[in-house]
Every structure is written in structure tokens, then in C-alpha cells.
Amino acid sequence: AQSVTQLDSHVSVSEGTPVLLRCNYSSSYSPSLFWYVQHPNKGLQLLLKYTSAATLVKGINGFEAEFKKSETSFHLTKPSAHMSDAAEYFCVVSGRRDTGRRALTFGSGTRLQVQP
């Protein structure tokens, strides 16, 4: 079985400062990992994905994440926060591909606030 733990339920940053949203995963196989963003009362948008290629993954809107197997982490970063980044962010792990199990397991979410 797989799981993800988002270490912070709320993160507050000032506009223009770096963003760090932390995620640790647990998996008995080589996982695929994702970050999704959800704006209030909206659906989920895929920010980026890791699928065993490059460990540093670049996504949309200036976000990136680094897969660190030794630390079982997949933290999301952005060099400079923008007001429009305020949203809920979910770290997600997929099921084991070779079994055909494709259900996604979501973390509990991190609410990012951006102060002017």
C-alpha cells in the first residue's frame, strides 16, 4: 500500500518570497508522484508529475519538485510566490503500474496563503 504525508496543513508566505510545500511518501514500489492544485470551489489542475525519469521535475507556473528516494520526499518549490498561487495543494501517489491499479492516493492538502 502507498501513502503520502503533507507535513504542513497551512503555509503562509509573502508575495515575491520562495514557496516550499513538503511531502513525504511511503511506497513498496517505484511510485509515480504528482502535485495537484485546487483553487476554491474549482477542480484540480495537474502541476507536475514524476514517473522515474529526471528526479527534478519542472511544472507549470514556475513550480518544480525534486524526487529524493533516500529521503522518500517530493517537496514542491517555487522561487517567488505570486498572489494567484494562493490555493490548496495536494501531493499524490499513484498505484502500482504493473498491477493495473491506478487509484490515486491523496495527501491531506496544504493551504497556501500569499500575503501582499
Partner 1 sequence: NAGVMQNPRHLVRRRGQEARLRCSPMKGHSHVYWYRQLPEEGLKFMVYLQKENIIDESGMPKERFSAEFPKEGPSILRIQQVVRGDSAAYFCASSPPIGTGVEQYFGPGTRLTVT
The phi, psi pair for 40, rounded to 5°, reads: -50, 130
- Does 5 participate in binding partner 1 (rule CB under 8 A)? no
- Does 46 participate in binding partner 1 (rule CB under 8 A)? yes
- Does 96 participate in binding partner 1 (rule CB under 8 A)? no
**Closer CB to partner 1, residue 52 or residue 80?**
52
User: Taking CB under 8 A as the criterion, which residues in 20-39 touch partner 1?
Assistant: 32, 34, 36
- Does 90 participate in binding partner 1 (rule CB under 8 A)? yes
The phi, psi pair for 43, rounded to 5°, reads: -80, -170
Min CB(53)–partner 1 separation in Å: 12
Q: Are 115 and 12 in contact (CB under 8 A)?
A: yes
Which residue has cell 508522484? 33
Provide the H-helix boundaries in the chain: none
Select from 115, 82, 97 the least CA-distant residue to 30: 97
Stretch (H or E) spanning 25: strand 23-26
**Closer CB to partner 1, residue 15 or residue 104?**
104
Specify the stretch interacting with partner 1 by CB under 8 A; choose among 10-18, 21-29, 75-83, 101-109: 101-109
